[in-house]
Structure 1
């Protein structure tokens, strides 16, 4: 795992086409924005896990 320190407004680049920008830090909460091509799906972990569970359930039926 790569651990980085950034301040508000700074970017993290992932490959050539994905960027993560720190938008705000408020106490223990960090807001960030993700810029990615339309064909790249970006989800919060809990949403992604729910989608995977539904997909797996559909394959069992």
Structure 2
């Protein structure tokens, strides 16, 4: 992990196309602006962890026996 000290207005460049700019600092909170291509997904850490946990749960909790009810369905 890389830890950097930045002041308001200073930037951090990641790769060729992601730029983080320090927008504001109030107490122990920092506002960061992120410039990145639209195809790069950006999540807050706690949201990303929730998504990962939900994906793991949905992948593990499937009861395949319940899918047998679909065998009787006929499409027109």
Q: CA deviation at 1:16?
A: 0.2
The alignment status of 1:27 with 2:50, answered yes or no, reads no
Q: CA deviation at 1:51?
A: 0.3
Kindly report structure 1 stretches of 4+ aligned residues shifted beyond 4 Å: none
For structure 1, which runs of at least 5 residues remain unmatched after alignment? Answer: none
User: Counterpart of 1:54 in 2: which secondary structure?
Assistant: helix
| TM-score scaled by length of structure 1 | 0.93
Instruction: Judging by fraction of residues, say which structure has more strand.
Output: 1
- Residue 44 of structure 1 is matched in structure 2 by 44
**Greater C-alpha Rg:** 2
| TM-score scaled by length of structure 2 | 0.76
Bigger relative contact order, structure 1 or 2 (CA pairs below 8 A, ≥6 apart): 1
